A and B are shown apart, each in its own frame.
Chain A
Amino acid sequence: MTIEAQIKEYIAKNLLFSSDGFKYSDDASFLEEGIVDSQGVMELVLFVEENFNIQVNDPEIIPDNFDSVSKLAAYVRRKSGAS
């Protein structure tokens, strides 16, 4: 499963509680679309740390990395490649 697909599945299940998947585009802003709240961002951090086995550093928790499926996937790829 692609990184994008894993992120979408996690969000659909744990943040949207939706059984029919993630119905937004990969570029949709999580905050603008109301997909996550402040707590949701922390949930996402935990998820990528556990699921992709990466360490998220504080300065990296910014909308540029965490505010859409594509941004988050790109971030995960960068981190995985770098580590």
Chain B
Amino acid sequence: MCGIIGVFNQADEKRVDKDILLQMLGLIRHRGPDGFGIYQDERVSLGSTRLSIIDISGGDQPISNEDGSVWIVFNGEIFNYIELRPSLEAKGHRFTTNSDTEVIVHLFEEYGAGCLKYLNGQFAFAIWDTQRQSLFLARDRLGIRPLFYTEKNGQLIFGSEIKTILAYPGVQPEIDLHSLDQIFTYWSTLSPRTIFRDIFEIPPGHYLMMRGGEKNIQSYWSLDFSPGKTSPRSVQEYQDELEALLIDATRIRLRADVPVGAYLSGGLDSSTTTAIIRNFTDTPLDTFSISFSDPEFDESPFQRQMAEFLGTQHQVVYITHEDIGDLFPHVIWHTEIPILRTAPAPLYRLSELVRDNHYKVVVTGEGADEFLAGYDIYKEAMIRRFWARRPQSSLRPMLFNRLYPEISHMPNSQAYLASFFGAGLLDTQARDYSHQIRWRATSRAKRFFSSRVSDHLNRVDGAAADEIIYPPGFDDWDALSQAQYLESTIFLPQYLLSSQGDRVAMAHSVEGRFPFLDYRVVEFCAALPPALRLNGLVEKYLLRRIARKWLPDEIWQRRKRPYRAPIHRSFVRADGSTPDYIEDLLSPASLKAAGLFNPEAVQQLLMKLKSGKRVGETDDMALAGIISGQLVWRLFVVDFQRHAPPPIRYEELRRDCSPQSVVAGGQHAV
């Protein structure tokens, strides 16, 4: 796992100043502290920070093909590189390393952009073909690894994190108000937007090909829930097939020349992947998890139970409200985007624990909730549709009690449930039917926008929901699949795998690996009959049938509990005190200077929190969004230079390559 950067000259042929590349690399040293390298010619500059996991001695980057005409910098893992290699060797490709990186180079030589369909992995890479004079940037199917770019003065500048781009001369960060509006609707921007104007990401499952001044962005894979792609089988056959796939997906994710650990949340998904490692491999296993001082959020009894059951060496990081408040600015430096949650903060601390235990790789359970239908939002949509068939029924909406116990504790909850979930009830043909309630509730937090922001949005933009691009055939999919598609293309890559995934893990040089996100597993799940994903109101039905063989009853039968972290109590403590930075960050002067949020409204919110009054979900989301929005402005727009870590020193470079460095592998040492 690593970080990459690069610059492509669309017009000029002028070498980029090496000091700039060293500065860009310094900003992502955390992604790959084990080795640095660059490649430069008149047209292109590439840079890499490497976290060595596979072929520790030989895998330094950049790497080229046999004659030095194709160069790559690569972030991620290709898990099937061992299977891919023989056929490339049979075609005459000569390998000089044992790395997965080199496999991509030769595959690209052989198939061009078509190489992507052979790769099973999590990746973002840049390939420079000196003969065709083409630059190829690609990202994995589901968006596990990040890749951002911008165009400025005839140059394409790219990097694993936005901060590398901000370090490039002439790039001026500006908060994109439309993106802010998206975050306060969907909990994230929609790809390819970032919070910064004119800085974009390569969308998941896409590549960008650049030749001369011509830029071409193409999709090479997309999530497809079309029915009838597989012949019907018995439930047992489906179950056996999924089980075999999951075991293989986990097995190839243990390929590494360093020990692999696992996150254990106490839920079904990470317990399943951990059990597979235990039952089907010889890997000795350390597990890691988060416990909270706040009992409302703590799951540690289940984690301990699983660790004991599986006999793993288990370590726990203990998180208090104060920790979350204090860590938040560091977390936002890594997320590079406002967030309406604090859940990434404990994960930031967890990756630190993992690193301090000398682990670089952890297997986790992400993806099962998306593709095997674990989330409440799927059930909520199902109940709404069930109720919409008999809108007069007073019994049907009572099913919401099963989903949202906090509401069911309200007196007369049924009257209110009907009101909350009844909005737009009969609009069942709407493509975003499943997500309307959530997006509408989140949008309430926009009442804190400054008049500058609201005026701009009213003037320039229409309804945010109109921007979602639906794939062909979407209208013919079943309702569950439609909901899963939205969740898996918005929340998963744009928040869960980034702010709560890659960024907080890589902050401490830790790589997550996700068996449920193996594309074979994803494609299999998308083709399952919907009732094997969500069965009545039993979520992850097929997975439960598999997991019961390996897990204690209390774990496989447990109802899904979302991973959350406390918000308002992390920023305004019981005694009314706040973390040091809050006072200044949320002062009327700072709020006015940033121009994003209404100072009076924010003061009202703080007063309400300090008074100890009841705090709702909207207040929580707004508070996290305001603080993180202000932090993004402060860290990246106002004070970037002050927060930027020092550049890589030239002496730290293991490779400084140029077109003359014609021999691949190990030969370019500075």
Contacts and interface: CB of A to CB of B under 8 A. Distances in A.
B9 interface: no
B447 A18 contact: yes
A43 B614 CA distance: 6
A69 to B, nearest CB: 16
Nearest to B440: A34
B406 interface: yes
B407 interface: yes
A17 interface: yes
B332 to A, nearest CB: 22
A13 B601 CA distance: 8
Contacts of B407: 38
A56 B252 CA distance: 61
B408 to A, nearest CB: 10
B410 A17 contact: no
Contacts of A32: 419, 423
A31 B423 contact: yes
Contacts of B412: 58-59, 61-62
A14 B615 contact: no
Contacts of A43: 613-614, 616
A52 B602 CA distance: 27
A2 interface: no
B535 interface: no
A40 B616 contact: yes
A58 B423 CA distance: 24
Given A14-B604, A62-B412, A38 B614 contact: no
Contacts of A67: 419
A13 B416 contact: no
Nearest to B443: A34
B470 interface: no
Given A14-B604, A17-B598, A19-B601, A38 B448 contact: no
Nearest to A56: B411
Given A38-B407, A58-B411, A46 B420 contact: no
Interface string A50-68: 0000000011011110010
B444 interface: yes
Interface in B460-510: none
A17 B613 contact: no
Given A42-B410, A59-B412, A17 B419 contact: no
A39 B419 contact: no
Interface residues of B, number: 30
A41 B604 contact: no
Interface string B396-436: 00000000001100111001100110010000000000000
Nearest to A34: B444
Interface residues of A, number: 24
Contacts of A17: 447-448, 598, 600-602, 604-605
Contacts of B416: 31, 38, 41, 61-63
Contacts of B598: 17, 19
B406 A38 contact: yes
Given A17-B605, A18-B447, A31-B420, A37 B618 contact: yes
Contacts of A34: 440-441, 443-444
A28 interface: no
A32 B422 CA distance: 9
B604 A39 contact: no
A39 B447 contact: no
A37 B411 contact: no
B57 to A, nearest CB: 57
B617 interface: yes
Contacts of A19: 598, 600-601
A50 to B, nearest CB: 10
A14 B616 CA distance: 11
B564 interface: no
A16 interface: yes
B617 A41 contact: no
B420 A14 contact: no
Given A31-B419, A32-B423, A59-B411, A39 B608 contact: no
A39 B613 CA distance: 11
Contacts of B448: 17
A37 B600 CA distance: 21
Given A31-B423, A40-B616, A62-B415, 12 more contacts: A18-B447, A19-B598, A32-B419, A34-B440, A37-B441, A38-B407, A38-B416, A39-B618, A42-B410, A43-B613, A46-B614, A61-B410
Interface of A: 13-14, 16-19, 31-32, 34, 37-43, 46, 58-59, 61-64, 67
11 contacts: A31-B419, A34-B444, A37-B444, A38-B406, A38-B420, A38-B617, A39-B615, A40-B616, A61-B410, A63-B415, A63-B419
Nearest 10 CB-CB pairings of A with B: A39-B616, A58-B411, A17-B601, A19-B600, A31-B419, A62-B415, A17-B604, A61-B411, A38-B407, A62-B412
